[in-house]
Copies of this chain bind each other. A is one copy, B any other.
Amino acid sequence: MIRLAGVYEHQPAIRRLASFCPLDPVAVDALGEAIAQRVRVRARREFVAEGAPVAGPGLIVNGWAARVRLLPDGRRQFLSFLLPGDMFGISDQPDPIAASTVMALTDVDHCRAPSARNSPSLARAYAVSRAFDEAYLLDHVTRLGRLNAYERMMSLLLELHERLRRVGLASENSFSLPLTQETLADALGLTPVHVNRTLKQARRNGDIIWQAGRATINNSALIAQQIGRRPVRVTQAARRA
């Protein structure tokens, strides 16, 4: 199909989809064009509202966002993080409504996801993308239901690292982590105070370093094994792009 050239090589959205299925030129062009039309959302702004009609599928070009549920009494639960290259608002239905609010955690650039009608490879990449989203969501259910605070934290950090590596935004064992402890708490079903203590413990154990917005995981293979985590897989074929 195509060996990603020039600018696209560093475009997370294209890189991620291409890692799922080699993209044909039609797809790459369509993605490049969509990305050129990206719009910016400020941190903390919500750009998809739960219950509202879905505008169509979107792509995160840059920055971090999250899908979130808000309870009437103010409690908040992050359902998943949306990293550069991730998709949101996909649906086969004719008149879908958003199943969750989507909120920018940092400044975010996003664009619409181009139709896959003229590109089988793109359609397939979308399908794999969706399968990954579902698999990570199931991991998250397990995380919240059956892991303790420490395990939840490490499990999430490992997931984020795994996903960022896929799009070239993480090194072997470290990555930019632009989240507050409060955000982490609302993702992990904990309080900010307890997140703080859990992180303190993790630092003391030498499992992680987190400073100046950058997280490092020491010995991730060992930690993954301790908490029973394996990399997410969704297809029988290739496990690495």
Contact = CB atoms under 8 A, between A and B. Distances in A.
Given A124-B94, A131-B91, A233-B51, A145 B144 contact: yes
A99 B145 contact: no
Copies in the complex: 2
A135 interface: yes
A162 B96 CA distance: 20
Interface residues on A, range: 35 or more
A32 to B, nearest CB: 24
A30 interface: no
Interface of A: prevailing SS: mixed
A187 B91 CA distance: 27
A241 to B, nearest CB: 15
Contacts of A233: 51, 97
A130 interface: yes
A237 B97 CA distance: 10
Nearest to A139: B69
Interface stretch (A6-14, A72-80, A172-180, A203-211): A72-80
Interface in A106-160: 123-124, 126-128, 130-131, 134-135, 137-138, 140-142, 144-146
A79 B237 contact: no
Nearest to A137: B137
Contact of A141 (B75, B77, B97, B146): B77
Contacts of A127: 91-93
A53 interface: yes
15 contacts: A53-B236, A77-B142, A77-B145, A77-B146, A79-B138, A91-B127, A92-B131, A93-B235, A96-B131, A99-B131, A99-B138, A141-B141, A144-B145, A145-B187, A146-B189
Smallest CB-CB A-B distances: 10 pairs = A145-B189, A92-B127, A144-B144, A95-B236, A72-B228, A77-B145, A77-B142, A77-B146, A69-B142, A75-B146
